[in-house]
Amino acid sequence: MRSKLVAVVGTAAILAAALTACTKNTGDSANNGGNVKTEQVGAIATDPKDSLGPAAPIQGASKGGTITLYRQFDIAHLDPARIYTFAGLTVGQLFLRPLTNWKVNADGTETLVGDTATVPGIDVNKDCKTWKFPIKQGLKFEDGSPITAHDIAYGIARSFDLDLNSGPLYIQQWLANADAFDKVWDFKANKTSLPPGLTVPDDYTLQMQFQQPHCDLPFAASLPETAPVPSAKDTGVDYDKHPVASGPYKIASYTVGQSLNFDRNPNYDPNTDAVRHNYPDSYVVNIGKDAVAQTNLLISDTNGADTAIGLSGVDASLINKVEGDASLASRKLEIATADTERIDINNNRVTDLSVRQALNYAIDRQDLIKVLGGPTQATPATTLLPKQALGYEGYDAYPAGDTGNIDKAKELLAGKHPNLVFAINADGSGDDVAAQIKNNLEKAGFVITLRKVSADSIGAEQKKPTNQWDMYLNDWSYDWPSGSSVIPPLYDGSTIKSANNTNECYLNAPDVNSEIKRILALPAAQQGPEWSKLDKLIMTKYAPVVPLWYSNGYYLVGSKIGGITLSSVFGGFPLYNNAYVKQV
């Protein structure tokens, strides 16, 4: 998923277990109002009643009005097979219903429940290889036609089409038991059949059978590719323009670069939905305003901004203004996200462990966070896992404090002056951060060459183990709160290939690889502490990266909006499931 900050794109590769996230939501958009700091706990629902609708009513909410979402650019994709950004995932909640979903409870906790499914998956043989999803009856598409298991299976099947290959790939690869899933099953040649392992025993039952255990399936099933798609309405790549709604709203109109409008779906039944409400009459995505314009409008609370929220968050240049204005306190939303920024060290090129350790000691995280806009934007990171991950345990393998330890870095370098090439995006988005890092490292004795690389090529080149750079910025947000969606994709050397890698530090340590395999085979509820132990081993023994910061979400909402929360699952982005317009 794409970071909200300056880094290069990172794409993210536990059941019934706790996750914690420090959050602060303020005003009526929070649960109780005021500057409330809550500990969020998430789990998979074990009681089928948790997946039943309707969602509990929100105190003070009533129907009516329009909520406007300010967005600088178009949302990348609306096709459920192609959605894979936080903006897409959260806006997708308005019109798509996947198999499972995250329910925000009254106390701020988030629980995985069934959405189109009656429960968040049944592990038939208790081995995580065969999963059954009973489907709710009475669900309808926007045109009134019934939604069945066949429509959900078709939606999954079409995600095998490489023309639609910009969304998550977990389920495709798990069903095919291969990374190159399209070589196992060709959607275009088999549109009237289903991929191997995907079956529909009856109209209201969907089943997936894997060759290997995949205990995270209930979480993967919350991604939009499991939303139903009517095969007769599928227009391939053009489905992006107007996907058929299964959720509380439908797309009323879309003018690229200008606006995306949603009206109520007349055939949506809230009694089937444990996750959402449809209080507003409509939503409008207003496209074109940058972060500064969004923030200034929301500060003014005029010209329609009183019923709006800016999806770029509070612009860094205006943070002090927002923080210094007491009248805005009740309209601020803040959350610590799972998005973790790091320096990837190319372990193919920087082979000296002491050099990699010195890099970790030399970084001044406090100054980096000042560059970002201060503590409302980020907090220092020293771990591979974010704090929200199951079983997270904090540690610092290279204790240098928030400002770094130049003397310790020099001691490790022992008089050496390593020449390192630091690749950065030529669009200038990360220039301030890169300059600060260069300054930190050169104080310790490094010689850093900043190499500007075009935005069109830097991401693809980083993903090649033959790239000619020693280090580069990267970030990662999990797709669900488990180490299984962080450690394996980023540090499993057995998966390294000639291109398109997610392990961009190119750590390939046999003990790490075997430990990843061992943990993945454990019952899901036992994995959390094991991922945390492996996190510490990787950093202590190999220092393959330099953790920099955990990102925060920081937003303003209009004075006439209530019920909007920030989601720790969806990268700290606004969530509209309980949103309403205050009727005054």
Question: Is pLDDT above 80 for 11?
Answer: no
pLDDT 10s digits, 75-121: 999 999 999 999 999 999 999 999 999 998 877 778 899 999 999 99
To the question of pTM greater than 0.75 for the whole model, the response is yes
pLDDT 10s digits, 395-423: 999 999 889 999 999 999 999 999 999 99
Q: Report CA dihedral (205, 208, 209, 214) to the nearest 10 degrees.
A: -130
Q: What is the pLDDT of residue 488?
A: 94
Q: What is the pLDDT of residue 207?
A: 98
Instruction: Give the N- to C-terminal CA distance of the chain in Å, as an integer.
Output: 38
| Six token digits for residue 379 | 């907090």
What whole-number distance in Å separates Cα of residue 242 and Cα of residue 476?
30
The closest of 339, 234, 426, 311 to 70, measured between CA atoms, is: 311
For 260, the 3-state DSSP assignment is: strand
Q: What is the pLDDT of residue 43?
A: 76
What whole-number distance in Å separates Cα of residue 152 and Cα of residue 102?
18
Question: Is pLDDT above 80 for 29?
Answer: no
pLDDT 10s digits, 204-235: 999 999 999 998 899 999 999 999 999 999 99
Q: Where are the alpha helices (DSSP H) in 98-166?
A: 149-158
For 66, the 3-state DSSP assignment is: strand
| Six token digits for residue 63 | 């129907």
For the chain, residues classed under CATH 3.10.105.10 are: 340-552
Beta bridge partners of 412: none
- 10 Å CB burial of residue 539 (0-12, 13-18, 19+) is buried
- 10 Å CB burial of residue 89 (0-12, 13-18, 19+) is buried
| Six token digits for residue 414 | 């022992």
Amino acid at 89: L
Res. 269 pLDDT band, cuts 50 70 90: very high
CB 403, CB 368: distance < 8 Å:
no
Least confident of 30-44, 45-59, 546-560: 30-44
CB 469, CB 351: distance < 8 Å:
no
Q: What is the pLDDT of residue 13?
A: 31
Res. 42 pLDDT band, cuts 50 70 90: low
Average pLDDT score, the chain: 91
Instruction: Encode burial over 191-218: b for 16+ CB neighbours within 10 A, e otherwise.
Output: eeebbebbebeeebebbbbbeebbbbbb
Residue at token pair 């797309």: 251
The closest of 136, 143, 173 to 52, measured between CA atoms, is: 136
Percent of the chain residues past pLDDT 90, beyond the cut: 83
For the chain, residues classed under CATH 3.40.190.10 are: 73-286
DSSP 324-383: T-GGGGGGEEEEEEEEEEEEEE-TTT---HHHHHHHHHH--HHHHHHHHTSTTTEEE--S
Q: What is the pLDDT of residue 15?
A: 32
Beta bridge partners of 36: 25
Q: What is the pLDDT of residue 88?
A: 96
Residue at token pair 């023994």: 541
Pairing of strands 66-71, 259-264: unpaired
pLDDT 10s digits, 358-391: 999 999 999 999 999 899 999 999 999 999 888 8
CB atoms closer than 10 angstroms to residue 421: 17
Q: How many CA atoms lie within 13 A of 320 on its CB side?
A: 4
CATH architecture observed for domain 73-286: 3-Layer(aba) Sandwich (3.40)
Residues 6 or more apart whose Cβ sits within 8 Å of residue 47? none
pLDDT 10s digits, 457-508: 999 999 999 999 999 999 999 998 889 999 999 999 999 999 989 999 999 9
Q: What is the CA radius of gyration of the chain?
A: 23
Least confident of 23-27, 178-182, 529-533: 23-27
What whole-number distance in Å separates Cα of residue 399 and Cα of residue 408?
10
Q: Is domain 340-552 in CATH 3.90.700.10, yes or no?
A: no
| Six token digits for residue 439 | 């300054």
- Tell me: cis bond preceding 80? Omega within 30 of 0 counts: no
Tell me, what DSSP letter sits at residue 233?
A: G
Res. 23 pLDDT band, cuts 50 70 90: very low
